[in-house]
Amino acid sequence: MLKGLDLDLRDHEVVCLIGPSGSGKSTLLRCIDLLEPIDAGRIAIHGRDVTARGVNENEVRRSVGIVFQAFNLFPHMTVLRNITLGPTEALGLSRTQAEERAADLLGRFGLADKKDEYPDRLSGGQQQRVAIVRALAMQPDIMLLDEVTSALDPELVAEVLNVIRELAAGGMTMVIATHEMGFARDIANRVCFLDAGVILEEGPPERIFTAPREERTQRFLQSIIEAGRM
């Protein structure tokens, strides 16, 4: 899937991955969170090679937060339990501590009144925000967002983007795969255009969106404009 790419990330940096379907954005994010095995190369977090032998993958995953396109909330648990499961079982917090943390995060993002609801009673936007809170509850060093608004009705997209904006403003290091070009332009420190498993082009958003160098980048952005999404 991924044919060879290098990506360096600095603390507090927000990198947006754009590109056509199948270009490898999701795969890249999943690889970083050690959800997909890599055939060659290495992934290092804070200087530590996490793809080396003998690394405790579960431990690594605790410090990397990922949110998927399809929310993936646990349907048999309330919102609160969805959020406290990781902290209590993987981080060893007590129930009370975990619930405090959850309540705090839910409050910050306007979801406090939903804490005892089951996911199927929430709107798509609410579910996705809960999914983000669930990842944040683990207090990760880096957040990976995999096209988190692509499955949402348009009117629900904004509430989720605002949450992400807040995170970025708070200094969270993030890699965001997205089709929302306007949003990417706003929020990214750097934009990478992926195509067929490689990073074809990368650079600051102003340059990528207004003066892309590669022809395929130009074609992709053109199709996005034509689709009315930028």
Partner 1 sequence: MIVWLVGRSENWPAIREAFFNLREFRETLPEIASKFRRNVLFFMVAEPAILALAMLLAVMRSLPGPVFFPLRAMAIVYTDFFRGVPTVLVVYFLGFGVPSLGLAGVPIDPAFWGVLALILSYSAYVSEVYRAGIETVHPSQVAAARSLGLTRWQSLRFVVLPQAVRRVVPPLLNDFVALQKDTALIAFIVAVPEAFKMAQIFQQARFNFTPLLAAALLFLLITVPLTRLVDWLLARQRARRQGGAAL
| Nearer residue to partner 1 within complex by CB, 16 or 83 | 83
CA distances from 117 to 75, 122, 197 (A): 10, 8, 40
In angstroms, rounded to a whole number, what is the distance separating the alpha carbons of residues 102 and 100?
5
| Nearer residue to partner 1 within complex by CB, 62 or 185 | 62
In the complex, minimum distance from the CB of residue 111 to partner 1, in angstroms, rounded to a whole number = 16
| Nearer residue to partner 1 within complex by CB, 49 or 89 | 89
User: 14 has which bridge partners?
Assistant: 174
In angstroms, rounded to a whole number, what is the distance separating the alpha carbons of residues 60 and 63?
6
| Nearer residue to partner 1 within complex by CB, 26 or 217 | 26
Query: Hey, is 159 helix, strand or coil?
Result: helix
- 66, 144 contact by CB (below 8 A): yes
Which residue type does 89 have? E
In the complex, minimum distance from the CB of residue 70 to partner 1, in angstroms, rounded to a whole number = 6
CA nearest neighbour of 200 among 175, 224, 217, 222: 217
| Nearer residue to partner 1 within complex by CB, 142 or 199 | 142
* Torsion angle of the four alpha carbons 133, 137, 140, 143, in this order, in degrees rounded to the nearest 10: -10
In the complex, minimum distance from the CB of residue 74 to partner 1, in angstroms, rounded to a whole number = 6
Place of tokens 């009673």: 121
**Residues of this chain that bind partner 1 (CB under 8 A):** 30, 33, 35, 58-66, 68, 70-76, 85-86, 89-91, 119-120, 122, 124, 127, 134-135, 138
| Nearer residue to partner 1 within complex by CB, 137 or 181 | 137
In the complex, minimum distance from the CB of residue 120 to partner 1, in angstroms, rounded to a whole number = 5
DSSP characters over 194-206: EETTEEEEEE-HH
In the complex, minimum distance from the CB of residue 204 to partner 1, in angstroms, rounded to a whole number = 30
In the complex, minimum distance from the CB of residue 142 to partner 1, in angstroms, rounded to a whole number = 12
Phi first, then psi, for residue 170 (nearest 5°) are -80, 0
